[in-house]
Structures are given as structure tokens and as C-alpha cells.
Amino acid sequence: MDKTRAQEICRDIAKDMENDATAFDGKPFTGRTVAEYFGNHGAAIAALAGIVAKLCAEDKDTFEVDVDGMVTPPLP
């Protein structure tokens, strides 16, 4: 994965999370609202995990990911 593209995706995710925080602020605490908010965050986490996995796969000799998802050595 192109690191520039990965950075662009990370910026997009950060902006989406900022927009969600604004959009959900003050909404009633209902099951539907909570499910939508958590769903949005789950999608963001999945996208970030995909980026990390692709970056690690491209450089197998340098990085290892343990069962807890920790990257060794830390990504630059």
C-alpha cells in the first residue's frame, strides 16, 4: 500500500470521526443512535486495521504483529 494513500485514508477517517462527534452530540441516547455511532467507529477501526495489516505485509522482514495487534518494532 502506498504510504501517501494510507495517510490520506487516516486523515479521512479522523475527519469522519470528528464529524460523527459533532453530529451525534446532544442526540437522545437510544439503541438506534448508539448502534449507529458504534457502527461508524467499528468501520473506522476495521479500515485502520486493514492499513496496518497491508503495511506490515509489505515489509514482512521488518515488522511483526502479535496476537494483541501490537506491531514490533513500532511503525514509523
Neighbours of 51 (CB within 10 A): 19
| Whole-number pLDDT of residue 39 | 93
Determine the Cα–Cα distance for residues 57 and 47; give it in Å rounded to an integer: 15
Neighbours of 75 (CB within 10 A): 12
- Convert the pLDDT of each residue in 3-52 to its tens digit: 788 889 999 999 999 999 899 999 998 999 999 999 999 999 999 998 88
pTM of the model: 0.66
Q: How far is CA 20 from the centre of its chain?
A: 14
